[in-house]
Copies of this chain bind each other. A is one copy, B any other.
Amino acid sequence: MTMPALFECVPNFSEGRREDVLEAIRSAAAVPGVSVLGMEADPDHNRAVLTLVGPAQPLMEAAFRAVRVAVERIDLRAHQGTHPRIGAADVVPFVPWERAGMEEAIRLAWQFGQRVADALALPVYLYGEAARIPARRNLAHVRRGEFEGLAARMAQDPPDFGGAAPHPTAGAVAVGARRLLIAFNVYLTTTDVTIARRIAERVRGSSGGLVGVKALGMHLARQGRVQVSMNLVDYPTTPLPVALEMVRQEASRWGVGIQETEIVGFVPMACMEDVARYYLQMPKFQRGKILEVALASQEFDARDAEGDG
């Protein structure tokens, strides 16, 4: 049996409050062959992250159906939230996972973008590895001006697919290909968002901080807390513990500590290996030291040996 290449797709939607809309998006993505791993909503960001894994064709179908529901149910003219966004379905990244390469993920993004533009009348900006215009490799550039500035921006900087005007309620969508990233938020023991912003500025690579780290300081009004919200876009180079400890170090300069942290979506097992290696000072730690992992890998070997190829 040949195992198909698997991709992750992590669409982000501009809705983090209305349970019925979130459930409708999630249900729409239930396509045979696709694992709907989770849907996490944040009411302050007013944003949700859907995590899908599967082979190329059913995965694109699942993502398409979810985006279609978002376009129908979310009206950005009435949307408020702390997270920057250009559309109801804001970003749709395709990520190579097992047996899959970046070239294939880029092709998926192009194919998906064309379909979304044709079927839903949604302008599509290609970003990340799938970008056709170099400046669009950077998602922050694609989202500059946000939904409110989209009409003016599109006139000067037309999308890769779709017409010259935004979708009236759903805006536009950024469709891309990228490596797996870790979305990691650190809550601080202060309510002063300026401290979170100063820390984010020090930690993020674009202003002289850590390679492969993007960071924003945010105030979460509903929670009454502030956070440093990070994307670790190159965790093999800059693993999670290094980012966390730099946040801790910078926070301590302002007399602030870490209240708690959270992962949005999922982390790869490689990240947990890094956590053990770093904090346990166990440079040789590997997932094979975990009893359940060692056992599962032996069972897998045994099945292979029994099978017919």
Contacts and interface: CB of A to CB of B under 8 A. Distances in A.
Interface of A: 8, 35, 37-38, 53, 97, 180, 240-241, 244, 258-263, 266-269, 272, 275-276, 279-285, 289-296, 298-299
Nearest to A32: B302
Contacts of A268: 290-292
Contact of A281 (B53, B258, B285): B258
B275 A290 contact: no
Nearest to A180: B291
A295 B262 contact: no
A281 B258 CA distance: 8
A290 B269 contact: yes
Copies in the complex: 2
A58 B258 CA distance: 50
Contacts of A285: 263
B281 A266 contact: no
Nearest to A262: B282
A259 B279 CA distance: 12
A230 to B, nearest CB: 13
A298 B266 contact: no
Contacts of A180: 291
A298 B37 contact: yes
The residue in A281, A291, A298 that gathers the most chain B C-beta atoms within 10 A of its C-beta is: A291
A295 B35 contact: yes
Given A261-B281, A281-B261, A290-B272, A298 B267 contact: no
Nearest to A264: B289
Given A35-B298, A267-B289, A272 B262 contact: no
A240 B241 CA distance: 18
Nearest to A273: B272
B295 A282 contact: no
Given A37-B295, A276-B272, A296-B296, A267 B290 contact: yes
Contacts of A292: 268-269
Contacts of A290: 266-269, 272
Nearest to A185: B282
Contact of A241 (B258, B269, B279, B283): B279
